[in-house]
Amino acid sequence: MPQINKTLEYRRARFNTPGQNLEQLTRQAWGQFATHLERDVPRADRAIVTGMRGRDEGAWGFALHCARYYDRQGVGTIPMAPAAQVDLGERQPDASENFLNADFLALIRGNHVICLSCGRSGGALRSYLSGLFKKAGMPRETQFFELTRVGNPNALAIIERVGVKSIDMKVDISEASAVELIEGEGGDGFWQNAKRQIGEAFQGLTARDAELRQLRQAEQGSVTVSINVKKGDLSAAREGLDHLAGEIAEDEEADGYVIHLRDGAVIRPDEVSVKKPVRLEAHANSVSVSQAWDAMRTYMEELEENGQLGA
């Protein structure tokens, strides 16, 4: 079987109400439904997410595999007969099946979560479990939680040890031009506030005349603000730059920056979260579920051994 590259990401469940345990809640809700069709959770976009399989990993947690589909939606097909031009065909599912749209897997141990293809901020998994808890009649406070990114201790330690030379903060022109960004609807986090400030500066620069305002119509391109402290500057200023880099690196929504370290190295967004690349067998437009679960358990064991689960 061919193998494909995937990434396992470590996250932690943070509930609005303290004292909740995601693994216990998942086991309780999952156990209330006998079949995968009973474990389905409809979404607002007409998609349905269903809990396909679960596996008890004992002291290492509970593993699950979920799939998203659109009921009775066909899939496109490509004709293989040679022709100058061809149109997409469509194949409808049989009466007893639906076609896979996407899937995701997770291993949950307490409030520690290993994710595979769970979406931005673990959103696909969080949304499904929240809906499943509601369907199971569990208290409202169990349904409100986030799957937060865990900062890579190696990256954060390097920032602290080596120090920061400069930070490039980048915002797409289309974002900087958007009214909703300037009006403050883009979120209240550190990174979103920074993007709004950059957007306001861009709006001010392009307000001077009509030709400059044409820049706002760009669909590609970016506005970049580079923050640096010269070598001979005050140590307090350098410490402030180091702290700014740490704030950006730990912000879940930060995605358009490059941190330049004083030793010449750089740190990018995909390097600050705790993750592990793996190679898994391809299967049915996805991966081998049992092999993925095995890799997740191994990763959870590694995190336990190096002390990150208790950090």
> Are 120 and 14 members of one domain?
yes
DSSP structural state of residue 93: P
Residue 172 lies in a domain: yes
> Are 135 and 185 members of one domain?
no
Asked if 2 and 286 touch (Cβ cutoff 8 Å), the reply is no
Residue 11 lies in a domain: yes
> Are 58 and 179 members of one domain?
no
> Are 64 and 186 members of one domain?
no
> Are 18 and 138 members of one domain?
yes
Give residue 179's pLDDT: 42
- Give residue-wise pLDDT tens across range 236-272: 777 788 777 777 776 666 677 788 887 777 777 666 6
> Are 210 and 278 members of one domain?
no
> Are 202 and 243 members of one domain?
yes
User: pLDDT below 70 — which residues of the chain?
Assistant: 151-154, 178-189, 219, 230-234, 250-254, 269-273, 311
> Are 137 and 166 members of one domain?
no
Q: What is the pTM of this model?
A: 0.72
Which segments of 251-307 does DSSP mark as H helices, in order?
289-305
- Indicate the number of domains in the chain: 2
Residue 251 lies in a domain: yes
> Are 133 and 16 members of one domain?
yes
Residue 186 lies in a domain: yes
> Cα–Cα–Cα angle for 27, 33, 34, nearest 5°?
110
Strands laid side by side in the 222-228 sheet: 222-228, 164-172, 257-261, 266-267
Residue 125 sits in which domain range?
3-150+274-306
Residue 311 lies in a domain: no
> Are 142 and 159 members of one domain?
no
User: Rounded to 5 degrees, what are φ and ψ at 39?
Assistant: -90, 15
- The closest alpha carbon to 67, from 33, 99, 32, belongs to 99
Asked if 303 and 293 touch (Cβ cutoff 8 Å), the reply is no
Residue 46 lies in a domain: yes
- Give residue-wise pLDDT tens across range 104-148: 999 999 999 999 999 888 999 999 999 999 999 999 999 999 998
Give residue 271's pLDDT: 62
> Are 8 and 58 members of one domain?
yes
